[in-house]
């Protein structure tokens, strides 16, 4: 049986790898948008859309950024705002970051089983009415 320490260490390694991947993808997206504006063409000051998706050669969405429709919140007010999501080649959500009623949210998912067991981890960081919360969830 895998100990909790081993699981946490594995999740921490995955988080570092995924963080680097997200930064790399964001830099590629900025570079791609910059290169798309050739000389002599009119350059827009603002690119506006409700959702932007990047797909791989198979058509699978691997990166998505967009707005989230607002929903009533039990504390009053409306949730909603922006959401950024990174997916693996099978379309499974790896990283999700966005806004909520109380502030920001970050969710990092493990998409493969550890050591051939059907155990997956999820790290959640989010704002609540009581302050910042961090949750490590092990899913069987």
Burial environment of residue 123 by CB neighbours within 10 A (0 to 12, 13 to 18, 19 or more): buried
Is it the case that residue 13 has pLDDT exceeding 70? Answer: yes
29: buried, middle or exposed (CB in 10 Å: 19+, 13-18, 0-12)? middle
Q: pLDDT for 24-56, tens place per residue?
A: 888 878 877 777 655 556 667 777 888 889 898
**Burial of 108 per CB tally in 10 Å (0-12, 13-18, 19+):** buried
Q: What is the pLDDT of residue 116?
A: 60
Residue 120 burial (CB count, 10 A): 18
Q: pLDDT digits over 87-135, tens only?
A: 888 888 888 888 877 778 888 887 666 566 655 777 788 777 777 888 8
pLDDT for 77 equals: 53
Alpha helices for the chain (secondary structure H): 4-36
pTM for this predicted structure = 0.56
Q: What is the pLDDT of residue 39?
A: 57
For residue 126, the model assigns a pLDDT of: 78
Mean pLDDT lowest for which of 1-10, 18-27, 76-85? 76-85
- The predicted pLDDT at position 49 comes to 83
């Amino acid at each position: 049986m895998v100990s909790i320490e081993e699981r946490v260490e594995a999740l921490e390694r995955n988080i570092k790898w995924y963080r680097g991947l997200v930064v790399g993808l964001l830099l590629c997206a900025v570079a791609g948008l910059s290169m798309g504006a050739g000389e002599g063409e009119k350059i827009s000051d603002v690119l506006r859309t409700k959702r932007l998706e990047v797909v791989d050669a198979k058509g699978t969405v691997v990166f998505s950024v967009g707005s989230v429709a607002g929903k009533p919140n039990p504390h009053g007010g409306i949730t909603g705002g922006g959401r950024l999501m990174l997916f693996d080649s099978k379309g499974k959500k790896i990283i999700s970051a966005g806004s909520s009623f109380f502030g920001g949210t970050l969710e990092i998912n493990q998409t493969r089983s550890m050591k051939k067991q059907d155990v997956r981890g999820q790290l959640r960081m989010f704002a609540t009415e009581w302050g910042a919360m961090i949750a490590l969830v092990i899913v069987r």
